[in-house]
């Protein structure tokens, strides 16, 4: 009986963790090559990452929280992420030279780097 309760508790905890990940990730859009042409009417905060990058992996849960927070406060800014190794030409257009790189894209396609604005918060989240 005790083993069954432990197993049920473990399954419940796993379900909560998975739901938390799904809900948070739901506010960060995975972007592809259509981002450049189809997203000109929106303001985007984009994380350009590499799947093998350790700092990028540490940033992912924090980035999901950024997406959730932007959505919860009703911000018009959409949050996305793009695998810069798969879409290197787009990453290059945005001036990505290292990973992770965070950029803000305004209406009409104006692109600026926002790393200096977030560096303190991100470093705290990464434990650097």
What integer is the mean pLDDT of 8-12? 44
| Residue 39, domain member (yes or no) | yes
| Residue 13, domain member (yes or no) | no
Q: Catalytic residue positions?
A: 53, 56
| Residue 38, domain member (yes or no) | yes
Strands 101-105 and 43-49: what pairing? antiparallel
Give the model's pLDDT for residue 43: 85
| Residue 2, domain member (yes or no) | no
Residue 52: domain span: 24-108
What's the pTM value of the predicted model, to 2 decimals? 0.68
CATH assignment of the domain containing 61? 3.40.30.10
pLDDT in tens, 81-128: 999 999 999 999 888 999 999 988 876 655 555 544 455 555 555 555
pLDDT in tens, 32-43: 988 877 767 788
| Residue 36, domain member (yes or no) | yes
Burial of 92 (0-12, 13-18, 19+ CB in 10 A): exposed
| Residue 126, domain member (yes or no) | no
Q: How many domains does the chain have?
A: 1
Give the model's pLDDT for residue 75: 86
Q: Give 121-124's long-range contacts (Cβ < 8 A, gap of 24+).
A: 122/59, 122/62
| Residue 1, domain member (yes or no) | no
pLDDT in tens, 59-89: 999 999 999 998 998 988 899 999 999 999 9
């Amino acid at each position: 009986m005790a083993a069954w309760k432990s197993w049920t508790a473990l399954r419940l905890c796993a379900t909560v963790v998975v739901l938390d990940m799904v809900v948070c990730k739901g506010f960060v859009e995975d972007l592809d090559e259509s981002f450049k042409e189809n997203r000109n009417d929106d303001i985007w905060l984009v994380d350009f990452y590499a799947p093998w990058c350790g700092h990028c992996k540490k940033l992912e849960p924090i980035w999901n929280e950024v997406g959730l927070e932007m959505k919860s406060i009703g911000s018009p800014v959409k949050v996305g992420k793009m695998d810069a190794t798969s879409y290197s030409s787009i990453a290059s257009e945005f001036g990505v030279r290292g990973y992770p790189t965070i950029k803000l894209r305004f209406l009409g396609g104006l692109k600026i780097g926002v790393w200096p604005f977030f560096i303190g918060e991100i470093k705290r989240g990464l434990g650097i």
